[in-house]
Amino acid sequence: STQSTWGTIFGIEFVIEKLPQMESSILQPISIDENQREKDPPEKVFFGKVELTSNTKAQNYYGMMFMFFAIGMAGMVQDTLLTILLTSERHNIQKSELGKTVASIAVFELPLQFLTSPFIGLIMDRLGRKPMILTGIMFSAIISFSIPYMPSVFPYLIISRSLIAVLASFVLQAPLVADYIHDRSKGLASGILTLHICLLYTSDAADDLLCVDLGGRRIIKK
């Protein structure tokens, strides 16, 4: 193996031993010969409007859409359950302090996610999408199930939520639209993916009928 420079971030040059090329359609840009395209036309999805790359299957596209939707829904459910957890007997946060506590957790989550995002992108380009996605899903699920048993908000719950935010980036930063979709359809595919976000926010707003607002978060009415 030989040394290879990843790139420079904030004036710091990152060097790592070059890994052998992996035979995967999503690890590097795909060049498609137009003559071959006519002989072996790629699959199309979304009523034939979105054209996939020549070695991408429809199930890959729909799996991508489901994965992004599931990760977004899991994050919204966690936000709602966090309010319930904080007001439970284990943490006993008063309603008057609930908004401040939730904001304090976010203060640690967001900067950590901001600082680690460029490095996650670099690692994903080197190691591939699948290892990063599987790692993010597996470890974020393990930490999520452990959250109800955290003995205190500071520091255990804050550390857990911050790690989940970083691990979620392993999935959300995966540039699968660029990998799976042909250039002629990337704009439409990105627009369709944005519909998922709209649906998530719509479902989040709909639960106002069943919940009351507490410090910016909702808690289910008894």
d(CA 206, CA 96): 25
d(CA 34, CA 104): 54
**Of 92-101, 129-138, 139-148, the least confident:** 92-101
Residue 216, amino acid: G
Please, what sign has the CA dihedral across residues 144, 84, 113, 172? positive
Instruction: Tell me 40's DSSP state.
Output: S
Confidence of residue 116 (pLDDT cuts 50, 70, 90): very high
Helices (H), 128-157: 129-146
**Could you tell me which residues come within 8 angstroms of residue 206 by beta carbon, excluding any fewer than 6 positions away?**
none
Residue 114, amino acid: F
**Could you tell me which residues come within 8 angstroms of residue 65 by beta carbon, excluding any fewer than 6 positions away?**
192, 193, 196
Scan for tokens 């992108």, then name that residue: 121
- pLDDT at residue 69, rounded to an integer: 84
- pLDDT at residue 123, rounded to an integer: 92
pTM, whole model, 2 decimals?
A: 0.69
